[in-house]
Amino acid sequence: MIIRFLSVAGFMSLSLQPEAQNSLYIDSNQSLTLDQCIDYAFKHQPALFQSYINQSITKTTNAISLSGWYPQINLGGNFTHYNELPTSFTVDSSGNPVKQRSGVVNTSVPALTVSQAIFSPSLLYAAKAANFYVKQSEQVTDSTKIDLVVSVSKAFYNLLLTIEQINVLKEDTARLGKNLSDAYHQYVGGIVDMTDYQEAAITLNNSKAQLKQAIENVIPQYATLKQLMGWPPQNQFNVNFDTARMKSDISFDTTQDLVYEKRIEYQILQTGKTIQHQITDYYRLSFLPTVSGFFNYDFQYENNNLGALYANVYPYSFIGISVNLPIFTGFYRIKNIQRSKLQEQLLDWSQVSLKSEIYTEYTTALANYKGNLYNLYMLQDNVGMAKNVYEIVSLQYQQGVVPYLNVITAESNLITSQIGYLNALFQVLSNKVDLQKAMGIIYYNH
């Protein structure tokens, strides 16, 4: 029974390891670093391309708004057929009114109309605000890029954490498999009782369960990274990383001052305030007249015979200036000024709220970074000590000096310290990204 039990446990241990190997390494020749993942995301992420399209839409909208400054040329015309000609009156030699019909039955007047805006408050606003709208759309794109760098980096680190955990759990499973074998042989030799190998089997099964769960987690984490990168779901790639470089990348100068103006959200809000102020100025100036020049050239055709309507043309033309001065518009302008000023106040309070949010985000990110960095250094020492303790206790158990419970405790401390160290390492890397984002110093070369 004991031999059968150990055979099943050994078979499970051997059968699990190839599965872990296949799950970790994707059948692909492509191997991407973090920088390469970010580069790919900048070229393929749909959300970023939507931001680029929105920039183009903004520029096109500005061009539409400014098109009123160009000459407006229109060609039109009309055709009129009188069932009864209009009546007009003339005065005879005696001063008496004489009724008569005037005009012709058929009239057609094609017309060419040209107008040119000289001054318009709405066109003046469009010209002054155009650059700010473009700037705002570019800032939104920058915000999308920053979010993309942060999200891809953190997804990359989460994936690496799981992969490193799998490597640690594979080593742990191998050690526990050897412990199970040692416990069995010591039981057969009469050195220990039956509970030792049963405890060894329980510990091994727990480690296998953790390993299996970690292996399964790799698949959705790869899917998340692919989604953020804009990578085709059906295509595969491996992640390439340098642990030594990552350890050196965790350092960050925490003495830097928080500068709100570096945050892209703050910059977007400032641009929004400028645009709103331009709107207020537009309503202030909307009492000014709209002035435009015009030129009309009409080709008039008249004839009582419809078939000969276009036989002769009687053209005429004229030029002039049109002035439209609003006198009373039902307090439209005044109420719009009041509303725009209230909207400016809303943006002022939004700025106050945003600064508070940025400060809270910064202090939280800084505290998390410092705390996890300290934790990382402590856990790094623990890993070395836990390995040394495990090796000594394992040797003592083999010599029959200590019970197997000591081995379980030492093994538990070792795996806990190793997993804890990995968690702390990648948590610090993620905390650093959060801190850089909070301080507005996420850089990208795109």
What's the mean pLDDT in 306-313?
92
Domain with CATH 2.20.200 in the chain: 71-118+290-324
Strand order in the sheet with 316-324: 72-76, 111-119, 290-298, 316-324
Residues 130 and 305: beta-carbon distance below 8 Å: no
Report whether pLDDT(9) > 90.
Answer: no
CA distance 152 to 140: 18
In whole numbers, what is the pLDDT of the chain averaged over residues? Answer: 88
Q: Looking at residue 18, what is its pLDDT?
A: 35
Q: Which residues contact 15 (CB under 8 A, 6 or more apart)?
A: none
Residues 401 and 338: beta-carbon distance below 8 Å: no
Q: How confident is the model at residue 123 (pLDDT cuts 50, 70, 90)?
A: very high
Report whether pLDDT(191) > 70.
Answer: no
Report whether pLDDT(300) > 80.
Answer: yes
What's the mean pLDDT in 157-181?
88
Tokens 């990274």 belong to which residue? 225
Question: By mean pLDDT, which of 58-72, 148-162, 163-177 is the weakest?
Answer: 163-177
Take residue 378 and report the two structure tokens written for it: 């402590």
CA 241 to the chain's CA centroid: 25
Q: Looking at residue 212, what is its pLDDT?
A: 93
Kindly state the greatest CA–CA separation across the chain.
Answer: 152
Q: Looking at residue 120, what is its pLDDT?
A: 94
Terminal alpha carbon distance of the chain: 66
CA distance 30 to 17: 24
Q: Looking at residue 182, what is its pLDDT?
A: 73
CA distance 270 to 265: 9
Angle between helices 332-398 and 264-285 (to 10 degrees): 180
Q: Which residues contact 1 (CB under 8 A, 6 or more apart)?
A: none
Q: Which of 111, 110, 103 is nearest to 303 (CA)?
A: 103
Residue of higher predicted confidence among 422 and 277? 277
Q: Which of 425, 412, 410, 411 is nearest to 379 (CA)?
A: 425
pTM: 0.82
What's the mean pLDDT in 185-200?
71
CA distance 246 to 416: 21
Q: How far is CA 281 from CA 211, 276, 277, in A?
A: 65, 9, 6
Digit-coded pLDDT (tens) for 383-411: 989 999 988 988 887 777 888 788 888 88
**Cα atoms found within 13 Å of the Cα of residue 412, Cβ hemisphere only:** 11
Q: Looking at residue 28, what is its pLDDT?
A: 57
Listing DSSP states for 44-76 in one string gives: H-HHHHHHHHHHHHHHHHHHHHHGGGS-EEEEE
- Cα R_g (the chain), whole angstroms: 40
Report whether pLDDT(199) > 90.
Answer: no
Residues 82 and 103: beta-carbon distance below 8 Å: yes
Residue of higher predicted confidence among 318 and 196? 318
Digit-coded pLDDT (tens) for 335-384: 999 999 999 999 999 999 999 999 999 999 999 999 999 999 999 889 98
> Could you tell me where the DSSP H helices lie in 287-331?
none
CATH of 71-118+290-324, one of 2.30.30, 3.90.660, 2.40.50, 2.20.200: 2.20.200
Q: Looking at residue 192, what is its pLDDT?
A: 61
Q: Looking at residue 2, what is its pLDDT?
A: 38
Measured in residues, the chain has a length of 446
Tokens 């096109």 belong to which residue? 60
What's the mean pLDDT in 111-140?
96
Report whether pLDDT(229) > 70.
Answer: yes
CA distance 45 to 154: 16
**DSSP reduced 3-state for 401:** coil
Domain with CATH 1.20.1600.10 in the chain: 2-70+120-289+329-439
Residues of the chain with pLDDT > 70: what percent?
Answer: 91
Q: Which of 158-162, 269-273, 382-386 tops mean pLDDT?
A: 269-273
Q: Is 296 left (phi over 0), alpha (psi -120 to 50) or beta?
A: beta
Q: Which of 209, 160, 220 is nearest to 427 (CA)?
A: 160
| Rounded to 5°, angle at Cα 317 from 311 and 319 | 165
Q: Looking at residue 94, what is its pLDDT?
A: 81
Residues 90 and 96: beta-carbon distance below 8 Å: no
Tokens 């891809």 belong to which residue? 152
Class of domain 2-70+120-289+329-439: mainly alpha
Q: Looking at residue 333, what is its pLDDT?
A: 92
Q: Looking at residue 72, what is its pLDDT?
A: 96
Residues of the chain with pLDDT > 90: what percent?
Answer: 64
Residue of higher predicted confidence among 321 and 96? 321
